[in-house]
Structure 1
């Protein structure tokens, strides 16, 4: 497996990482813990060493699962986890999770669930609109000094807040949704990351499954699948997006690769500072994804892919999900007293 360095002075990770969210219940479909642990072990054997989890996935289940899987092979893993994305029963963002005391409680709880002494990369999962980014990142910097965290990261952050955070402590990586179907980071965030020497981690790099070619109608999703409530997977939006998928499939077949490999290879060609983290419950899918790191695309092919992938319809999340992202960009101008 080829490797990349996260940020200017960050860890060396596999060019394709793994998003472990799919291994917890309540996200997409039922899961089996023992099968999931076996999948994680197979990923490490493939050379995929960058594993991404979060305290909110399965309400702590995901961290406990990942911790069990890697405990006897910790030296082979670059482990990332996240905090600060908890929501109320109505789906609204819990405020105050970015405060100094809350940050400390979050890392201690995560380390206990993981059964580890430290994590390699600790992300603020969602910016707390009730707490300045300076206070939150300052608290995360304390964790680095104490040895509980090696590197600091941010998720779904604006370019302006990234600059403010970087002034407090070096940010190793920013994680945001980025794929052929979600290209918002290209507006400003990616260029800011590169200016500051911050790595970029792309979650949902396969368009939440649309770029696998396996979703053709709403009925292909389980009744309790979160994506059923996402505009991109509904009605005329889905019909339009499947037209894009079909056009990309033509390119992939001509290239002799799968649609997933084409989508991941496109991402990898956007810069050597970028690492996608697809997820799957099956190691054979991840083995196939890993081969995307060896797919070469020339300028003409990239231009064609960009052309046919324009015009994606519908928001990438439901209304409440998108509100948690937008609200995190509204910050106090100065650090809290």
Structure 2
């Protein structure tokens, strides 16, 4: 699989990443239980298949199933840690330096490793007060201490509302930004992606497949769309077509899902850079006139 430098980190990462949420999330409708013996075996087989096929970026969090996702991935890391860029997350709300350090060290134990490549503050929308707490209230200090000791490599954050992550770009300590960006939620395209590229930070997408929201909505509004082209494929191709994105996180439960996604990525060659897509009426008019 094609690899790309994750911004100024220099880490070479695959164009899609394995998302760890499914290993901590129950989905009875699809007979998925990552706590059952069958589910555990499937999850570990999926991680192994991803590594076998060249997906070398794995993203998880202690909040995914109260550590279950990290523990399952950690079983594979016992033998294959050196084959991947391993990223997890840490809380920051209501806790300080010592709690952050303790949380990361718990993640290290669950993941069966002595170091993490990336640790991200697990966030949704950052208010000015929350930003201030992270920067000056202890959480960032905690990660910097771990970084100095070699227990973590790079520091990042995740943001459901990408524009609230902009305030962190001025801090060189933050090298990786994981942003909600997909076919139906394109706020990042106008409010942070250009600035992120200018700063050469790593950009990873979450909600890449819209978490199934687009597909579910289309069932009611335009059921024929599914017959024309798989909407999950449309979502993945959209993100892969934006040159400002380095890697797209995709949750995969079974090895066969890995096979399908890897084939899609390897066969796909973008015909247009969606970084150039007009996103204002006046720009659409100008593009039409130019054509």
Structure 1 length as normaliser, TM-score? 0.70
| Distance verdict in 2 for CA 1:84–1:150, change over 3 Å | same
| Distance verdict in 2 for CA 1:134–1:34, change over 3 Å | same
Instruction: State which of 152, 159, 172 in structure 1 corresponds to 2:175.
Output: 172
- Per-residue Cα deviation, 1:284-332 (whole angstroms, up to 9, x for no partner): 112211233331232499999x9xxxxxxxxxxxxxxxxxxxxxxxxxx
CA distance in 1, matches of 2:240, 2:25: 29
Q: Report if aligned partners of 1:134, 1:165 keep a CA contact under 8 Å in 2.
A: no
Two-structure CA RMSD over aligned residues (Å): 3.1
**Structure 1: runs of 5 or more not aligned:** 86-94, 216-232, 253-257, 307-337
> By how many angstroms is 1:187 displaced?
2.6
**Structure 2: runs of 5 or more not aligned:** 280-291
Q: Does 1:37 align with 2:44?
A: yes
| Distance verdict in 2 for CA 1:30–1:137, change over 3 Å | same
Matched residue, 2:153: 150
3-state SS of the aligned residue for 2:8? Answer: coil
1:240-259 → structure 2 map (5 Å cutoff): 240=221, 243=222, 246-247=224-225, 250=228, 252=229, 258-259=230-231
CA distance in 1, matches of 2:170, 2:196: 10
Q: Report if aligned partners of 1:137, 1:165 keep a CA contact under 8 Å in 2.
A: no
Matched residue, 2:106: 109
Q: Does 1:186 align with 2:189?
A: yes
Count of paired positions:
265
Matched residue, 1:92: none
CA distance in 2, matches of 1:100, 1:130: 15
> By how many angstroms is 1:159 displaced?
4.5
Matched residue, 2:85: 78
CA distance in 2, matches of 1:301, 1:193: 15
> By how many angstroms is 1:130 displaced?
8.1
CA distance in 1, matches of 2:103, 2:273: 47
CA distance in 1, matches of 2:165, 2:152: 21
| Distance verdict in 2 for CA 1:147–1:59, change over 3 Å | same
3-state SS of the aligned residue for 1:239? Answer: helix
| Distance verdict in 2 for CA 1:287–1:35, change over 3 Å | same
Q: Report if aligned partners of 1:54, 1:81 keep a CA contact under 8 Å in 2.
A: yes
- Per-residue Cα deviation, 1:95-116 (whole angstroms, up to 9, x for no partner): 313x222211111111122121
> By how many angstroms is 1:27 displaced?
6.2
CA distance in 1, matches of 2:274, 2:169: 37
| Distance verdict in 2 for CA 1:133–1:162, change over 3 Å | farther
Q: Does 1:265 align with 2:263?
A: no
Q: Report if aligned partners of 2:162, 2:187 keep a CA contact under 8 Å in 1.
A: no
> By how many angstroms is 1:16 displaced?
0.9
Matched residue, 2:58: 51
Matched residue, 1:328: none
3-state SS of the aligned residue for 1:102? Answer: helix
Instruction: State which of 214, 220, 223 in structure 2 corresponds to 1:239.
Output: 220
| Distance verdict in 2 for CA 1:181–1:164, change over 3 Å | closer
> By how many angstroms is 1:163 displaced?
3.9
Instruction: Considering fraction of residues, name the structure with more strand.
Output: 2
| Distance verdict in 2 for CA 1:158–1:210, change over 3 Å | closer
Matched residue, 2:286: none
Moved more, 267-276 or 294-303: 294-303
